[in-house]
Structure 1
Amino acid sequence: MSGPVLPRRGFLSATAGLAAALTLAACGGGTGTAPTAAGSPASAGQGWSFTDDRGKKLELARPPARIVAQVGAAAALWDFGVRPIAVFGPHKLKDGAKDPQAGNVDITKVEGLGNVWDEFNVEKYISLQPELLVSSMYVKGALWYVPEKSKDAIEQVAPTAGIMLTGKSATEVIGKYEELATSLGADLRGVPEAKARMEAATKELAQFKDLKILMMSGGPDQMWVVNPPEYPDIVHLTTAGLDVVTPSKVDEGGFFQTLSWENADTYDADVILYDTRTQSLKPEEMLKKPTFTKLPAVEAGQFYPWRAEVAFSYQGYAAFLEELVANLKKARPLG
């Protein structure tokens, strides 16, 4: 997929792979049950309802246990104690190892319905007898990684729930996943400690308000500067006090600005945070770009990872923010 052609999807799923492609039977593995606070499956006698971010109220006679989720949604739910039976979206690397986007999901215990954009095994999905499909949304009404060509067939099999990301803070998104997990009867015993860690790390961000920070991703011929208001994690960072560069001219769709590597110096920054997703260029590859290596932040070694696909859970964000705080403590203003 190409950034200019599909700007809404481009940066979010496979920014660095824009020149190539968007990246972004029997039921096996996993029980598919959501443990309750007492550790037993959610009661079959309970009615269940949940209103998703499309404003769609879902109602079933009992809490759904057989849940299929887009890998990012699965990672969030997993940290809240919900165990999907299958995932779709990038969960396995070329060497068979787990994709970082899968978070703490044990991919050996879930079925895979697709690993790349526009790949979703509908027949296998039907065979799993799912009771609920969960996915995030970057565009309201469009379930992330649910192929347009298969959408109608997929939505006839089981109810679907969409959790909106764009225009929200990470705290709001995490809260929505927590609400869903709670409705499913999940065991939330680990939540208070993780939430406290996240809050503590968030408070520490204010001390770095004097640092100008650029958040970006790299491709073979281009780099992408993110537009902060469109990303829940960056909204969280800016609300907490970080000064993140906002591009002056964003591409169609509003998520980022595309720059040639020759124009890598368009924006001044004390710190550069680079996209760590598998589709993005690795730091050593970006450092082969002469204009990039001459940037003050790069020359100063103030070039740190941005975990762009961290799970929307308190555990996921606690770890993400703690790492960020540790890195920013090593940085200084360069102006």
Structure 2
Amino acid sequence: MSGTEGWGFTDDRGTELGAARVPLRVAAYVRAGAALLDLGVTPVAVYGSGHDGEELDPAKAGGLRAAGVPYLGPGRALGAEALGELRPDVIVDVTYDGKSPYALDEAVAERLGIPLVTLSVSGERALPAILDRFAALAASLAAAPGRSASGAGSAAGPVPAAESTAGPAPATPAAEPADPVGAASASAADLAAAEALLRSVAAKGGGAVLALSGAGAEQVHLARPQAWPELAHLAGLGVRLLDPGPGPGANWLTGDWAGVAELRPDLVLFDEREHATPPYALPSGVRLAAWNPETPPSPAAYARFFRDLAEALVA
């Protein structure tokens, strides 16, 4: 599709979205924006969730800071005027319930008359399907005229300095891939290689893995593996993930650090986002590896995560 033929996309709420031309200026929730950047589309700006503060969380940033993409603060605090000043052609968010955008008030996009694409990242969808949906959106946006092979340059356009808290763009941009199709194939191959490595390591042992999010000295949230697409995918690759057991909570079981010790993990995947706290009390000898529960849904991001986990399992 050329940029003059119009644009259409059906999001994961079943909403059919369209525009007279392929959107060039994309605003996005930080997780979605980092994924789109990996996939060749550079946002004009990103916003955070209710967990985020006024500064971009390094754990969630992906390549956004290095690319000079401005961060606008929490999405729920954004009004139509602030977002409208960016002149976005489309907004991209995620959904966990298949109905509502996670980080932005949908009424803001409605008042501006801007299409709001919402893609599911819930545990009801397998990780490969999530990656495919983001890849399909990126491919539809990459047809915009004036967008370079990686979406940089004119795609971002000027942004008033007062709106950016992500820091200045680097003085000399990194070289951009000349072949977006080749770059996408390379990312997919990299992910496949990382999966093969992790499968091989898991087959040789590596111990039991527990994923958690710290909530202070007295409380910790233990992840239910099948509720998280990437954790379920790890289990499919042979990683032995611990389930915290029965109790309230669809995604997490909230308990204390003594409960972590009772599960006897060999390796703890700890939530590295800024709003989470580091592990407080773990048995001697337990290994640690960082986990971002909002890893950008791109092959490149998950390849990095899988390689890091494979390294931690053999340490």
| Shorter-normalised TM range | 0.7 to 0.9
Q: How far apart are residue 155 of structure 1 and its match?
A: 2.5
Partner of 1:155: 110
Partner of 2:79: 121
Structure 1 distance, partners of 2:74, 2:141, is 28
Partner of 2:121: 165
Amino acid at match of 1:193: A
Asked if 2 retains the 8 angstrom alpha-carbon contact of 1:90 and 1:99, the reply is no
Q: How far apart are residue 256 of structure 1 and its match?
A: 0.5
Amino acid at match of 1:200: A
Asked if 1 retains the 8 angstrom alpha-carbon contact of 2:197 and 2:310, the reply is yes
Alignment of 1:130-279 (within 5 A): 130-147=88-105, 151-157=106-112, 158-166=114-122, 167-185=124-142, 187=149, 188=180, 189-206=182-199, 207-209=201-203, 210=205, 211-220=207-216, 221-252=218-249, 254-279=250-275
Give the SS at the match of 2:135. Answer: helix
Q: How far apart are residue 133 of structure 1 and its match?
A: 0.7
Instruction: Mark the CA change 1:117 to 1:133 in structure 2 (over 3 Å): closer, same or farther.
Output: closer
Partner of 2:45: 86
Structure 2 distance, partners of 1:130, 1:121, is 14
Deviation per CA, 1:278-299, whole angstroms, max 9, x where unpaired? 112124xx1xxxxx33x2xxx1
Name which of 303, 306, 314 aligns with 1:321: 306
Structure 2 distance, partners of 1:163, 1:116, is 19
Q: How far apart are residue 108 of structure 1 and its match?
A: 7.2
Q: How far apart are residue 327 of structure 1 and its match?
A: 1.0
Name which of 9, 13, 16 aligns with 1:57: 16
Gaps of 5+ in 2: 144-148, 150-179
Q: How far apart are residue 94 of structure 1 and its match?
A: 7.5
Pick which of 118-127 and 171-180 moved more.
118-127
Structure 2 distance, partners of 1:202, 1:153, is 40
Give the SS at the match of 1:118. Answer: helix
Partner of 1:69: 28
Q: CA RMSD in A?
A: 2.5
Amino acid at match of 1:324: L
Q: How far apart are residue 248 of structure 1 and its match?
A: 1.6
Partner of 1:99: 58
Pick which of 76-85 and 261-270 moved more.
261-270
Q: How far apart are residue 137 of structure 1 and its match?
A: 1.0
Instruction: Mark the CA change 1:250 to 1:196 in structure 2 (over 3 Å): closer, same or farther.
Output: farther
Which portions of structure 1, spanning 4 or more consecutive aligned residues, are displaced by more than 6 angstroms? none
Partner of 1:9: none
Structure 1 distance, partners of 2:255, 2:269, is 16
Q: How far apart are residue 107 of structure 1 and its match?
A: 7.0
Amino acid at match of 1:176: R
Give aligned pairs, total: 273
Q: How far apart are residue 214 of structure 1 and its match?
A: 0.8
Asked if 2 retains the 8 angstrom alpha-carbon contact of 1:67 and 1:86, the reply is yes
* Identical pairs, percent: 26
Deviation per CA, 1:14-35, whole angstroms, max 9, x where unpaired? xxxxxxxxxxxxxxxxxxxxxx
Give the SS at the match of 1:327. Answer: helix
Instruction: Mark the CA change 1:117 to 1:123 in structure 2 (over 3 Å): closer, same or farther.
Output: closer
Structure 2 distance, partners of 1:305, 1:197, is 20
Instruction: Mark the CA change 1:246 to 1:164 in structure 2 (over 3 Å): closer, same or farther.
Output: same
Structure 1 distance, partners of 2:268, 2:67, is 35
Partner of 1:27: none
Amino acid at match of 1:155: E
Residue 308 (str. 1) matches residue 305 (str. 2): no
Asked if 2 retains the 8 angstrom alpha-carbon contact of 1:47 and 1:59, the reply is yes
Normalised to the residue count of structure 2, the TM-score between the two structures is 0.79
Asked if 2 retains the 8 angstrom alpha-carbon contact of 1:276 and 1:305, the reply is yes
Asked if 1 retains the 8 angstrom alpha-carbon contact of 2:60 and 2:292, the reply is no
Instruction: Mark the CA change 1:118 to 1:175 in structure 2 (over 3 Å): closer, same or farther.
Output: same
Pick which of 202-211 and 219-228 moved more.
202-211
Instruction: Mark the CA change 1:200 to 1:279 in structure 2 (over 3 Å): closer, same or farther.
Output: same
Partner of 1:29: none
Pick which of 254-263 and 303-312 moved more.
303-312
Structure 2 distance, partners of 1:71, 1:97, is 9
Structure 2 distance, partners of 1:201, 1:153, is 40
Asked if 2 retains the 8 angstrom alpha-carbon contact of 1:168 and 1:235, the reply is no
Structure 2 distance, partners of 1:116, 1:48, is 28
